[in-house]
Amino acid sequence: MKNWLITGVSRGLGKALAEAALARGDTVIGTVREGNPDIAQGNGAFHPLLLDVRDPKAIETAVSRAFDLVDRLDVVVNNAGYGLLGPVEAVTDTDMTRLFEVNVFGPLRVIRAVLPRLRAQRSGHIINITSIAGRAPNAGSGVYSATKAALEGLSQSLWQELRPLGIHVSAVAPGAFRTDFLTDHSIRQTSLRSEDYATSVGTIVTALRQTDGRQIGDPERCAQGILAVVDSNTPPLHLLLGSDALRRARVKLDQVIDEMDQWEQVTRSTDFP
Ligand SMILES: NC(=O)c1ccc[n+]([C@@H]2O[C@H](COP(=O)([O-])OP(=O)(O)OC[C@H]3O[C@@H](n4cnc5c(N)ncnc54)[C@H](OP(=O)(O)O)[C@@H]3O)[C@@H](O)[C@H]2O)c1
C-alpha cells in the first residue's frame, strides 16, 4: 500500500486520482485551497491539507505536516494547475506571473520540499502533471504551453539526478479530459487584442470552449493510467494520456524530424572546422 501526496484534489484529475488510490486502500494526503473536499474514502485513509501552491511557506508547512502523518511518501503528484487562453501578445504581467507561480514554481517548490526526505528514504515517485500543450502547443495557449514545457524539462533533468538515488520521476501529459479545466471556474482568458488574431487564436479558442463537457478523456481512466505508472518497476519518464494526445504528439514529432532534416546542412555548418 502506498502513501500519496497529491495537490489539488478538490476537483478533476486530482480528485479522480485520490479516489482511485483510496479505493484500493492507499493513504492519500490531498491538498485543497479551501473547505473540506468531498472525497470517497474507499478502503484507504484520506487526510486533507489546506494549500494554495502560490504560497511558498504554506508548501513547506504542508510537506512537513504530510511527513507527520505518514512515515514515508511513496508518490508525490504535482497536479494543481490551470489554463490560460489568448494570444501571447495579450498576456499581462499579472496573468503570466500567476500562471507560472501555480503551474511551475509551486510544483518546483513541492519537489524541493519533499526531496530531502525522499533522498533519505532512497525511494519515491514524483509525478508531474504536464499537458500535451507542453509538447505540441496550439495557437491561443502559448503561455500555458510554456508552463507545461517548463515542467517537462524540469522532469527530464530531475529523472537523471534522482534515478541513482532510487527515486522515479514521470511527466504525465494528458490530452483533453472531461474535468472543470475548460470551465469559467478554472480557465482564464485574455482579450483577443486585435482582429488580426481572429482566425488563428479566435478560431481555436472558440472550438476549445465548445468542447467543454465533451472532452474525449475520462478522468477515472486517467487515474487508472497513473496507478499503472506508479505500480510499474520501470515507470516511464514521459507518458501521454489520451488518444488525442498521442495523435498530436506524433504529428509534432514528425514535423520536428522533417524540419531537422531539411535544415541539417545549416545545423552542421556552425562547428569550427
Ligand atoms: N483536463 C484537461 O483537459 C487537462 C489537460 C492537460 C493537462 N491538465 C492538467 O491537469 C491538472 C488538473 O487539471 P484538471 O483538469 O483536473 O482541472 P480542474 O478540474 O480545473 O482542477 C484543477 C485543480 O487544481 C487546483 N488549483 C488551481 N489553482 C490552484 C492553486 N493556486 N493552489 C492549489 N490548487 C490549485 C484546483 O483547486 P480549486 O478547486 O481550489 O480551484 C483544482 O483542484 C492541471 O495541472 C492541468 O493543467 C488538464
* 144 in catalytic set: yes
Which of these is catalytic: 15, 28, 103, 144?
144
What are the tens digits of pLDDT across the range 74-128?
999 999 999 999 999 999 999 999 999 999 999 999 999 999 999 999 999 999 9
The correct answer on CATH 3.40.50.720 for the domain covering 3-244 is: yes
What lines the ligand 1 site, CB under 6 Å? Answer: 7-8, 10-14, 32-33, 51-54, 79-83, 102, 129, 131, 174, 176-177, 179-181, 186, 215
Q: Which residue has the cell 515507470?
A: 235
Mean of the per-residue pLDDT values of the chain: 97
Residue 185, φ and ψ in degrees, nearest 5: -65, -30
CA 234 to chain CA centroid, nearest Å: 20
Supply the pLDDT for residue 84: 98
The domains of the chain are located at: 3-244
User: Would you say how long the chain is, in residues?
Assistant: 273
Give the distance (Å) from ligand 1 centre to CA of residue 162: 26
Please state, in angstroms and rounded to a whole number, the distance separating the CA atoms of residues 231 and 160.
20
For residue 200, what pLDDT band results from cuts at 50, 70 and 90? very high
- Which residues are CB-neighbours of 28 under 8 A, at least 6 positions away? 4, 6, 9, 18, 21, 22, 39, 44, 45, 46, 47
